[in-house]
Structure 1
Amino acid sequence: MTTRSFRSTATTPVERGREFGLAHAAQIAATVDAYRRIFATRAGAPVDLAHWGGLALDRIAAVSTALAEEVAGIADGADLPVTSIAAINARTEILAAVGASGAHECSTVVHVGEGSPVAVQAWDWYAALSDSWLVWEIPHADGHVTTTLTEYGILGKIGVSTRGLGLLFNILHHDQDGAGIGDPVHVLARAVLDEATDLNHALLKLSTAAVSASSSLTVIAVADGESAAISVECNPGGVGYALPDDNGLLLHTNHFLSNPAALHDDELRTGPDTVVRYDTLRRRLAGRTTPSIAQVLTAMNSHLLGGGALCCHADSTLPSTGQFETLATVALDVEAGTLTAHAGGPCTHPLNTTPPLETRMLNLKRIDNMDILTKDVQALVDFYHGTLGLPFHLPYEPDEEWAAIDFGNLTLYIFKSEVGEHAPRRTAVNPDNAPGLDSFAFEVDDLDESEAYLDGKVEWVDQRIEWKHPSGTWYRYRPFFDPDGNMLYITEPHPTDA
């Protein structure tokens, strides 16, 4: 798969369509043929494209007369029946009308807050259409530009407008879908990007749509330093809305987030992967106040669900009309009015920072804390805080019978325990000790001075010890016990480069 692009030069609908049709006649014909096969497979019999296309053409005109003219121009330029172009623009509606199930696709992440919004979508669709899409730049006579990722011959899908609006797209499934042909959702998406001058205008366009195939159109808006996002869940029963959480994060996969539509959701039976994808994104992005595009892509890099994963790949064991994959990963820059489209899933995106599974390593940083269990918390507090002079990491409340001591580069937690007896004391001679954790050591600058300070205050385990490694690094150290018999050291290290 590669990312192809085209910029229109004509600004009137008919001429723009004709220019596009002439430039991409072969690709548009291939898209029509591909959908003819998909419709037939899903319906279990050949589908009359002229019939469905005629119904679709009426609904396209109801959404936008300009876009109906553009469809006619594309058909003329590509030398195809206008009903064929209208039919692929209503491909979601026709799939619903013929009773198709199993078309589960797309995961969307938006974050709004301080700075520019982050808006990313993994577009999953039929693998057979992997070479049937492009990025189309559409200048308008008034100077604003619509940019959309779409399929050849289809007016629009995911996109942005230089008026500060962006749109992401997720298919939904409602138990009332498929009653004839309603307003085609792909045409609605393009109409919003072409016509809406602000967020309210976009919402009014979508909220009054009469659809026959449910979809979530997530609109992102930027104006005067502010940003907002809302998922508009268009369905035959009306419209619902989903908003960002308190951290500005808005996620959508392929199930309804609003009521009452959620009570009519077919996806929960036919495509339950949607709830796992949603939860995976929620957990991976939780707590991030300003996630970057790279962090979102990393969160999307999951193959847990196979063919229903956030980043999905075609299952070669299935027939071609039943294979789905992530065809493109799209990021919108709503403020700039541009988009970037990567051919393929998040796992192959150049901004994705997740290493391949076979080379991934656990990213341990440092020892944060350690615990000692004791029958006498106060005795150890007196020793570590009083005798050794180490500060508390957290305020000490004797009645609570625990303490947190700051060891400098880690925290020692002391907890009360009345169970059993303390393990036998250890010695400074390793071969004499049973397996297990042995001791911990405090670095000091001057062992002589530290020994002099501790003399009479601690119980020494042994005399001073010196050990030298062949590399030249050597240590002087001396072990001692705390009141419970845990063994500690003071050590004076001498690295080779010292």
Structure 2
Amino acid sequence: MAHTSALTQPELARPVSLRLPPGTVEERGRRRGEELASLIRAAVDGYTALFDARGISREDQASAAAESLEALHRWDPLQHAEVLAVAQAAQVGPHELGVVVARTEVLAAAGVGEPECSTLAGLTPTGSGVGAQTWDWQLELAPLWHIHEVDPGEGTLGHVGFAEAGMLGKIGMNASGVGVMLNILANDGDRAGGVPVHAVLAAVLNRATSLDEARDIVRSASTSASSTITIVAPDGVCIVEIGPQGTVELPVSGVAAHTNHFVADELQTGARELSSETRSHERLALLQQRIDGMSAAGAADELAALLCTSPAEAPVSLLPDLQKPRWERLATLVSVRMDAASRSIGIAAGSPAKASADDWVTLTAWRR
């Protein structure tokens, strides 16, 4: 498990690294569940405590998780079977694990938002995609993410990246050079019961061999929690906003940024801020100022450098305020950079402003 000092300084986290060899979905699930059992149980307890603090009853937590798992079963039976295998091996109930896998949908059902993530993505001069992101989340959950390397096997091309314990995928890059990043959004029409957005990310990593295939996977999912999925691939980049009215792809020319509010005009009905303290608009304005005039993206590490901010600027690099109550301490838990052409992703614990060159772990997705 990550070092306990991650609960005060997320850059000091030492995440577990999991390698899943080729196999069936059940074999992968069992191995994930066995090797991460204590971390998964801690994630179930952590999210249950967060939802308790947000006033979501245990009954509503369980029902929202169950509905999303059923939606996953209809949409992606192989992934659903893998989730069940994880739960069994970790010795948690499927709906307990569902509280983690569908944590975004549980929050959406209660109309509760949690600020997270600033994203940059762009096209290199050769037309391939690069990206960078900060994952901002609850400091209390800082020890509960891990690195994983998934080899090609049943239902997956193979992929690398990081995920929260119990999830099959989150931010990552697959063996075809298709990578995904995520921003949570909020809308009055958000509800429980949809395909978990983190399962959509996992599906893209499992199956997409091109930008078009990734788009099709995202659009095919009956989601219920508003989100933005940014896709980088060897043949381009796209940013897809997902809301109750459907999906809208935002144009990417040169380099584009996204934070935690709807941008597409077609999806503004019912759109709302994630919280009363959000600084999403300030973060987006700062990033847009930094990328203004960039006709093409450079290397992924150059984009990651643009996510570094000082305490006097909008908090793209978000440092925790330890004076705040337990569930109001937000921080950048992980920084990411990715390059589709090399099928690689770089991961650093904590804020990019705190990360030295030696702090970045670079993983490359393996081709069959």
TM-score per shorter chain, which class?
A: 0.7 to 0.9
Superposed CA deviations along residues 417-450 of structure 1, whole A, max 9, x for unmatched, are: xxxxxxxxxxxxxxxxxxxxxxxxxxxxxxxxxx
2:328 is the alignment partner of 1:322: yes
Structure 2: distance between partners of 1:182 and 1:343: 30
Mapped to 1, the partners of 2:129 and 2:217 lie a distance apart of 22
Q: Distance in 2 between matches of 1:290 and 1:58?
A: 40
Do structure 1's residue 342 and structure 2's residue 354 form an aligned pair? no
* DSSP 3-state at the match of 1:339: strand
Cα distance in 2 between the residues matched to 1:44 and 1:317: 25
Give the conservation status (yes or no) of the 8 Å contact 2:41–2:90. yes
Name the residue aligned to 2:306. Answer: 299
How has the CA–CA distance of structure 1 residues 67 and 317 changed in structure 2, closer, same or farther, with 3 Å as cutoff? same
Once the two structures are superposed, the pairs formed by residues 53-452 of structure 1 within 5 Å of their partners are 53-101=65-113, 103-115=114-126, 116-141=128-153, 144-178=157-191, 180-222=192-234, 227-245=235-253, 248-267=254-273, 270=276, 272-288=278-294, 289-304=296-311, 309-351=315-357
TM-score (norm 2): 0.87
Q: CA RMSD in A?
A: 2.1
| Deviation of 1:64 (Å) | 0.8
Structure 2 portions without partners, runs of 5+ = 1-12, 359-368
* Higher alpha-carbon Rg: 1
Give the 3 Å change call, closer, same or farther, for CA 118–229 of structure 1 in structure 2.
Answer: same
Q: 2:344, 2:203 → 1: CA distance?
A: 17
Distance 1:269 1:151 in 2: 23
Distance 2:274 2:73 in 1: 33
Higher RCO, 1 vs 2 (CA within 8 Å, ≥6 residues apart): 2
Structure 1 residue runs of 5 or longer lacking an equivalent are 353-498
Find out whether 1:21 has 2:33 as its counterpart.
yes
| 1:12-50: CA deviation from partner (whole Å, max 9, x where unpaired) | 111101111101110000000000001111125445544
Measured in 1, the distance between the counterparts of 2:279 and 2:62 equals 35
**Preserved contact between residue 115 and residue 275 of structure 2 (Cα < 8 Å):** no
Alpha-carbon displacement from aligned partner over 1:164-197 (angstroms, at most 9, x marks no partner):
211111111112112x321110001101111222
2:364 is matched with none
Counterpart in the other structure of 1:487: none
* Aligned partner of residue 265 in structure 2, secondary structure: coil
Q: Cα deviations across residues 207-239 of structure 1 (Å, max 9, x unaligned)? A: 2322211010111111xxxx3111111112111
**Is the CA contact 2:69–2:195 (under 8 Å) kept in the aligned structure 1?**
no
Compared CA separation, residues 66 and 171, structure 1 to 2 (3 A): same
TM, length-normalised to structure 1: 0.65
- Aligned counterparts of 2:79 and 2:190: Cα–Cα separation in 1: 24
> Greater helix share, 1 or 2?
2
Q: Distance in 1 between matches of 2:200 and 2:273?
A: 22
Cα distance change of structure 1 residues 40 and 305 upon mapping to structure 2, 3 Å threshold:
farther
- Confirm or deny: 8 A CA contact 2:157 2:207 kept in the other structure: no
In the TM superposition, what is the alpha-carbon distance from 1:270 to its structure 2 partner?
Answer: 3.4
- In the aligned structure 2, how far is the partner of 1:20 from the partner of 1:272? 35
Summarize deviations over 1:329-353 as a string: whole Å, max 9, x none: 011122222211100101112249x
- Paired residue secondary structure (2:63): helix
Report the Cα distance in structure 2 between the residues aligned to 1:114 and 1:182, rounded to whole angstroms.
38
Deviation, structure 1 residue 56? 2.1
